[in-house]
Every structure is written in C-alpha cells, then in structure tokens.
Amino acid sequence: MEHKYSTISAPATGDFRDRGSKFLAYAYPVSTIEAIKEKIQALKKEHPKAVHHCVAWRLGTDGTQYRANDDGEPSGSAGKPMLGQIDSLGLTNVLVVVVRYFGGTLLGVPGLINAYKTATAQALEAVPKTEKWIETMVEISFDYPVMGEVLYLLKQSEATIYRQDLQLFCLVTAGIPKVHCDTYVHKLSEIRGVNVKLVVPAAE
C-alpha cells in the first residue's frame, strides 16, 4: 500500500514504574514540527518537576524526518528505544514523549532502555492505528462563483482541507491523495479562473 501510511488515530498514554522511578509516556498523532513543539512545551508545563522529558518522533508520509532525544539520560538509553517502538509498528506522523520522575535508584543503561521502550510500547498499543492517504499539498485560488465546483471536486477526490478563506476571492489549502492528484489538479485547472499551485513543505 505505497499510497497510504500508518499513524495513530488519537492521543494515548503509558505508565511504567521501576524501583520508584515513574515513566509516563504520551503519544500523539502530529503532522508538523510546530505541533510537536507545542505538545512538548505543554508537557513540560504539566510536569515541571520531572527530571527528564525524552522525545522521539517520525514525521512525513515517507517518514524521512525524525528525532530521538535523550534529554540528559545516558546516550542512546531513551530516545533511540522510543523511536524503535514507533518504527517497529511502521508508524509515521507520531510523537512520543516520556516524562520521568526519578525514584532515587539508578537503573543503569539496560534498565533505562527497558523502561523507555516499555512505556512507549504501552502508549502506542493503547490506541487504534489508522491508514491515511499519502497526500500532495495544493493551494487553490479562485473567485467565489466557482466555489461549489471546486469544493465538489475536492470532496470527490477525498482531499483534506487544511485551510480555507472563502471571501469574494477564495483561497483553499488542501491535501489531495497522491494516487489521483494529477487527475484532480487537471480537473480543477479546467475550471475558469481557478489557479492550482503545488505547495512545497517548508524545511525545519
């Protein structure tokens, strides 16, 4: 199914404890770097007394953008095993943050790897997976009178509308499933006064 990708359908949590330390995992479906930063900041505010906020994410329908951050834990003991759990399920557009409260006993690198891996697995297993179309982002500008035709074609193509400004002059940002994007871009372009522009994702 190269035209689709797998992600999680809703946020989820996991909770793993070892020798007094608490590892609270939070998994989120995300599609932008901005969303990732917002979620991490919100968790840091929610858990200000936690000693670590370790992060792993994979982004993009081809899964090429990713990060694994140990946040002060020994190198490779947190972010990498967390990312490994995301990858073992073949997921993308997923963020996992594991918040650690220290329990007074050092767990050692094998103990940490197990804790971060298990907490992440619990969160990811707690939520249904969903398959979504790999989309091509387009920006469509047109005059108000043809709005009905444009929106009808977008609905027919199973596009996701991310932004719309429907005034006298209209602007819509949408993701059209790649599998039939060319067909619908052509159909849209045939409507009088409609201009379709491919949107290139901004680099981080």
Token pair of 199 as six digits = 């949107």
With beta carbons less than 8 A apart as the criterion, state whether 96 and 84 touch.
no
Is pLDDT at 204 greater than 50 in this prediction?
Answer: no
Count Cβ neighbours within 10 Å for each residue of 98-122 and write b for 16 or more, e otherwise: bbbeeeeeebeeeebbbbbbbbbbb
pLDDT tens figures, 29-53: 998 899 999 999 999 999 999 999 9
Helix, coil or strand: residue 27: strand
pLDDT value for 63: 85
pLDDT value for 201: 60
pLDDT value for 62: 81
pLDDT value for 154: 97
pLDDT tens figures, 123-140: 999 999 999 999 999 999
Mean pLDDT across 67-87: 98
pLDDT tens figures, 148-187: 999 999 999 999 999 999 998 999 999 999 999 999 999 9
Residue 106 to residue 20: CA distance in whole angstroms? 10
Token pair of 186 as six digits = 């052509």
